[in-house]
Amino acid sequence: MKPVCLVLGAGAGIGGTVATKFAQEGYHSCLCRRSDQDGLDRLVSNIEEKGGSASGYLMNAIEENVLEDLILNIEKDVGPIEVLVYNLGAQTGMKLLNETTLKEFEWGWRMADLGLFRVAKILMPIMEERGSGTFLVTSATAAMRGNKNQHSHAAAMGGRRMLCQTLNAEFAPKGIHVAHIVVDGMVDAPDTLGKMLGEELFKQLRETKGMEHDGLVLPESVAETYYYLSQQHRSAWSHEVDIRAFSDTAWWNS
């Protein structure tokens, strides 16, 4: 039975690409996303065509018991979840305070924080019993500082960062590696950046900044770092790692 890498938020960007990478390295990847059965099937097929092993799950992770059931079922039917990739985005767009609704604010928290807490509640005891496991949590610039049109996103990601620290503090000594990965820049991903910008603008950005310019963060490159983190020896774990395109300005610079 292969070890399992469960990716929550497995779209055609970081999530799906990380799932593909772990499958290539010998894991069975479980891809979970909210919508687009076709896209999900394509990701699974691509993995299988390359000789990997994967399964797809279409579900709304933030609904009651969905995450809990998924994890227990995979543990029972598929294999031990050795790597958990928490990749649920919580971006509600660039909105000033009067444009941000209570509902958006709550949704951000459910995606960024409550979901991660629920996953930890159910999966940490299982990993603890095995004495090992890896939690890779995708995060964003907004976890490090709050810009004016990020009220929902920054509050959500600031909470996520602190939650990663509390989980690391409790569970690293028990053999579970928790990493908070700050993706500090635009990712070349049709499912997120593409949808936010619209097709035309996204195409243009890819041509001027992405592609051979390497100015957009490539999911394939990010996946390498995720995989690397999962393989670090426990005598030298990294907890917080930032990632950005070489030509981009770091969040702390102006």
Site for its own copies in 138-167 (CB under 8 A): 142-151, 154-167
> What count of Cα atoms within 13 Å lies in the side-chain half-sphere of residue 18?
31
Closest CB 235 distance from its own copies, rounded Å: 4
x-or-dash string of contact with its own copies, 39-78, rule CB under 8 A? ----------------------------------------
- The residues, ordered by sequence, that sit 6+ positions from 41 with a Cβ below 8 Å of its Cβ are 56
Which residues within the stretch 164-203 sit at the binding site for its own copies (CB under 8 A)?
A: 164-173, 175, 177, 188
From candidates 37, 45, 208, 238, binder to its own copies by CB under 8 A: 238
Q: Do 81 and 68 meet the contact criterion of CB atoms below 8 Å apart? A: no
CA distances from 74 to 30, 139, 196, 226 (A): 8, 25, 32, 21
Q: Is 235 in the site for its own copies (CB under 8 A)?
A: yes
Using the minimum distance from each CB to its own copies, give the nearer residue, 75 or 224.
224
**Residue whose token pair is 């592609």:** 211
**Cβ count within 10 A of residue 232:** 13
x-or-dash string of contact with its own copies, 90-129, rule CB under 8 A? ------xxx-x-x--xx--x---xx--xx-xx--xx----
